[in-house]
Structure 1
Amino acid sequence: MVVMSAEADGRNMKTEYPFVLPRGYVDADGQVHRNGLMRLATARDEITPQIDPKVQQNPAYLTVLLLSRTVTRLGSVTNVGTSTIENLFASDLAFLQDLYRRINQEGRTEAEVACPSCSHSFLVDIAGEAPGES
């Protein structure tokens, strides 16, 4: 995990978030890649895709561009481009969209859940870092 020093208050700021895809990206050789890394988005990441012709023709393509800019690793794939994101299973794309929103808007990857039996509330790390995940 990479941390960057935050100048303003002297604390460390988390800038990259590990995750585990629900299904996994299958590369051209049939290898499945589930573990990945997403970095925080910059203003440039959010602004630059707006002028891309594919986004202007199909606004839904913005998601593909944003994820291709911020997902820095998928298993052994370190050059994650638009074709990689385009070839994800729909459930993995939805997972990454939610993770992107959580880390860039909420600043965390946890979600509050409640036990169906006792109604006790607790936090679960949806990125897959939590102990006991498979």
Structure 2
Amino acid sequence: MAFQTEYEFELPRGFVDDNGNLHRRGVMRLATAADEILPMKDPRVQSNPSYLTIILMARVVTRLGDLRHIDTKLIEKLFTADLAYLQNLYRQINDLEAPKVLTACPKCEHEYEVSIDFLSLTEALS
């Protein structure tokens, strides 16, 4: 079994480029320590800590549609739903453990934890 470092995704809305082309499918890679540390030196992050998300996404999104050059200007132009989707995907692929919820069997009422796989859930809803 190979170690997965890249994850395909499909944005809920999509990025519309200057020519009116819609780009929804892309690839995000696993983050490195440098991806999280180096942006902290960026003056845009120092003056506005929320900008860290923009820089992080520009570093880890490696492809969006036909676009191969992903930068902060492109990430800034994403719809908020798409940015939120990417943030959730980032957390999911970079966290050690999938989030869990406590649930119960409707018949026997036995309680147990279930891991939430947002990637599968998003694909199922598409």
TM-score (norm 1): 0.76
Among 34, 38, 45, which residue is 2:28 paired with?
A: 38
CA 1:76 to 1:131, structure 2 compared with 1: closer, same or farther past 3 Å? same
SS in 1 for 2:119: coil
Corresponding residue number in structure 1 for 2:118: 126
What percentage of residue pairs aligned between the two structures are identical?
49
State how far apart, in whole Å, the 1-side matches of 2:90 and 2:15 are: 17
TM-score (norm 2): 0.80
- For residues 72-101 of structure 1, the C-alpha deviation after alignment (integer angstroms, 9 at most, x for no partner) is 000001101001100000000000001001
Between Structure 1 and Structure 2, whose CA radius of gyration is higher? 2
For 2:74, the aligned partner's letter is: T
- For residues 39-85 of structure 1, the C-alpha deviation after alignment (integer angstroms, 9 at most, x for no partner) is 00001111100000000000000000000000000000110100110
Measure how far apart 1:127 and its partner are: 3.4
Measure how far apart 1:129 and its partner are: 8.7
Measure how far apart 1:106 and its partner are: 3.5
Structure with greater proportional helix content: 2
State how far apart, in whole Å, the 1-side matches of 2:82 and 2:123 are: 21
Contact 1:19–1:38 at 8 Å: present in 2 too?
yes
Unaligned runs of 5+ in 2: 108-112
CA 1:131 to 1:28, structure 2 compared with 1: closer, same or farther past 3 Å? closer
Runs ≥4 residues deviating over 6 A: 121-124, 128-131
| Equivalence map 1:60-75=2 (5 Å) | 60-75=50-65
Corresponding residue number in structure 2 for 1:3: none
